[in-house]
Amino acid sequence: MARALSTSALVVAACGGLMACGEGEAARAPVTPPSGAQYLGVETRLLDTSTVSFLVRMQGARGRADVVAYARCAAAQYALIRGYGFAQHVRTNVTRRGDIWEADGGFVISPDLPLGLRNMDAEVIVDDCREQGIPTV
């Protein structure tokens, strides 16, 4: 008997199982934003025509996965704004100062599905971000 997949499960599948993965973390996006979380903004840095860095800040994150998800949401929306359907996660560096979490995520945006395992379908990711209450750019 076939089972319907939740949006989060579809997002994880679309992203090669790497939605919010860091070393030793589970391969899934947060189900809901943490209560009391404040998304403190996104700074976009175009590194070349298809490589973009997103600096995001968040207060009240439960951990690394929350701030990484915020960076992924920003990258997916940015890809759509530029008329592209995909983004590929290159790296995310996360730091924490007190209750403020910062992530610097590097992504390659592309009109076509790039080769590799860390690909994101931008429309699927943005829909999931909206469902979870995570802002995009």
Residue 33 in 3-state DSSP? coil
CB-CB contact of 75 with 55 (8 Å): no
* Complete domains list, the chain, with CATH: 7-132 (3.30.1360)
9-64 residue pLDDT tens: 333 333 333 333 333 333 344 456 677 899 999 999 999 999 999 999 999 999 99
Helical pair 122-132 and 64-81, crossing angle rounded to 10 deg:
130
pLDDT, the chain, mean: 80
Write down the pLDDT at residue 13. 33
| Span 62-69, average pLDDT | 95
Q: Is 0.85 surpassed by the pTM of this model?
A: no
| Span 67-83, average pLDDT | 96
